[in-house]
């Protein structure tokens, strides 16, 4: 039996229905491939993001949705962009438009933060065993750009900007509501760093708002089924307190957190009151301690010092790098097993935007950039940054689908899992 049939038959286990029991030690080969695949969806957010201060499009996506995966050499993945996600810039989110050295910019309020994609290729759908919605969130572009309040990004502000007319939260809820009225499917949300935190918040919001509850009619009787939600989180911080974790568990959200044990980000916030603190539940219940944090889901701990390809370093940017983390996933066999590349993922990708690969492999540091940094020769022979097509704002039916989410009937449904 080939891998396609295996994934088709076991996709619920791969998506965490049993909390990845017996799949991590040793690493299940199908799960390994899926973790890397979702990590590459998250990495695409970085590769497509324009943070060039000499570009008037600074803070947006470099590629139109119709050509997004093609431009990133991912056209063979079998997915299409459903919509782009924008977030309002404020004091807690890097204002990339403020970094632009151009007199006019595409938006003075919004940052491009990710996308929603849908599996459309029939071969890929057969391989997956279901149709799939993927939500991918971008993290901070540099490790110095951190935010203090993770929930601010999900709130709507009163700004006169077409990209900010709906909050990031509302954009996700409306789009998922639009897409779930189909056959058997799943929802997978992924992200790295800040994007990992947003992925968990998005999953919680989708489940809490019951957007993953699908209504079917059979013999004039409403039947409800629950669409599974999985989060593949990479190098993410803690997001909520113990009660938040317990509520995510109650909602059936499955989270696999992939981390480098030497990376500091997964250990913040909550340096004092966290899952390792014996009296965490007491201080939350009795004294309502506001700085208590607990991780959600299952953790896959990797150690970069086990890879023979990586330099010994304490550089934060390397330890937190997503491409390096995917390299570690590819080589992880088990805690007591020798590091060995399973899918033989190209090690040159490690140095795409850092300097982590040993010099002996001859791969330059931070090598990825657009050809000629995006400059093209105009008809008169001058080198210029070309104009881009007008950025897509929100689909016209966003408000309609958001209203359907917010006005759902409160009567308790008879829910059956898909």
How many other CB atoms are found less than 10 A from the CB of residue 371? 7
pLDDT band at residue 223 under the 50/70/90 scheme: low
Q: Are 371 and 61 in contact (CB under 8 A)?
A: no
Confidence check: pLDDT of 333 > 90: yes
Confidence check: pLDDT of 3 > 70: no
What mean pLDDT is predicted for residues 323-339? 95
Strand order in the sheet with 221-226: 213-218, 221-226, 415-417
* Cα(227)–Cα(249) distance, integer angstroms: 15
pTM of the model: 0.89
Q: Where are the domains of the chain?
A: 3-302+369-410
Query: What angle, 0 to 180 degrees and rounded to 10, lies between the N-to-C axes of helices 242-250 and 194-208?
Result: 50
pLDDT score at 183? 67
Confidence check: pLDDT of 159 > 70: no
The 3-state DSSP class for residue 98 equals helix
Minimum mean pLDDT range among 103-112, 132-141, 318-327, 392-401: 103-112
Please give the backbone phi and psi of residue 188, each rounded to the nearest 5 degrees, phi first: -120, 130
Name which residue leads in pLDDT, 416 or 285.
Answer: 285
Look up the CATH number of domain 3-302+369-410: 3.40.50.1820
Q: Are 324 and 356 in contact (CB under 8 A)?
A: yes
Confidence check: pLDDT of 157 > 80: no
Q: Are 226 and 213 in contact (CB under 8 A)?
A: yes
Confidence check: pLDDT of 180 > 50: yes
**Catalytic residue list:** 193, 263, 320
Please give the backbone phi and psi of residue 390, each rounded to the nearest 5 degrees, phi first: -60, 135
DSSP 204: H
* Cα(65)–Cα(370) distance, integer angstroms: 18
Q: Are 246 and 292 in contact (CB under 8 A)?
A: no
pLDDT tens-digit profile of 25-50?
999 999 999 999 999 999 999 999 98
Confidence check: pLDDT of 182 > 90: no
Strand order in the sheet with 185-192: 79-88, 110-119, 131-137, 185-192, 229-234, 254-260, 298-302
Confidence check: pLDDT of 348 > 70: yes
The pairing of strands 185-192 and 213-218 is unpaired
């Amino acid at each position: 039996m080939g891998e396609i049939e295996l994934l088709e038959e076991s996709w619920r286990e791969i998506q965490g229905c049993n909390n990845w029991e017996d799949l991590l030690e040793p690493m299940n080969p199908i799960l390994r491939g899926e973790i890397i695949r979702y990590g590459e969806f998250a990495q695409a957010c970085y590769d497509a993001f324009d943070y060039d201060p000499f570009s008037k499009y600074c803070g947006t996506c470099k590629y139109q949705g119709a050509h997004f995966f093609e431009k990133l050499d991912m056209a063979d993945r079998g997915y299409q962009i459903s919509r782009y996600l924008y977030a309002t810039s404020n004091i807690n989110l890097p204002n990339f438009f403020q970094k632009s050295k151009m007199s006019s910019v595409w938006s003075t309020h919004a940052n491009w933060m990710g996308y929603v994609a849908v599996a459309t290729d029939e071969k890929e759908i057969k391989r997956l065993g279901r149709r799939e919605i993927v939500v991918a969130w971008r993290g901070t572009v540099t490790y110095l750009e951190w935010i203090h309040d993770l929930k601010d990004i999900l709130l709507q502000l009163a700004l006169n900007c077409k990209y900010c007319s709906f909050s990031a939260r509302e954009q996700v809820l409306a789009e998922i509501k639009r897409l779930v009225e189909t056959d058997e499917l799943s929802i997978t949300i992924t992200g790295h760093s800040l994007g990992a935190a947003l992925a968990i918040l998005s999953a919680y919001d989708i489940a809490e708002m019951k957007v993953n509850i699908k209504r079917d009619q059979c013999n004039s009787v409403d039947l409800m089924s629950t669409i599974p939600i999985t989060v593949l989180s990479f190098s993410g911080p803690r997001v909520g307190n113990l009660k938040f974790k317990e509520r995510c568990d109650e909602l059936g959200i499955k989270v696999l957190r992939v981390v480098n044990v030497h990376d500091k980000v997964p250990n913040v916030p909550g340096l004092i009151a966290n899952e390792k603190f014996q009296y965490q539940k007491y201080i939350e219940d009795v004294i309502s301690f506001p700085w208590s944090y607990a991780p959600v889901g299952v953790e896959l701990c990797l150690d970069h010092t086990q890879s023979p390809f990586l330099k010994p370093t304490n550089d934060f940017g390397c330890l937190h790098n997503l491409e390096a983390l995917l390299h570690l996933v590819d080589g992880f066999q088990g805690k007591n097993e020798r590091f060995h590349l399973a899918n033989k993922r190209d090690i040159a990708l490690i140095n795409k935007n850092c300097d982590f690969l040993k010099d002996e492999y001859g791969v330059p540091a931070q090598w990825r950039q657009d050809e000629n940094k995006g400059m093209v020769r105009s008809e008169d022979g001058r080198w210029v940054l070309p104009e881009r097509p007008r950025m897509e704002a929100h689909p016209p039916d966003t408000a309609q689908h958001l209203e359907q989410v917010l006005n759902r009937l409160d009567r308790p449904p008879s829910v059956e899992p898909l």
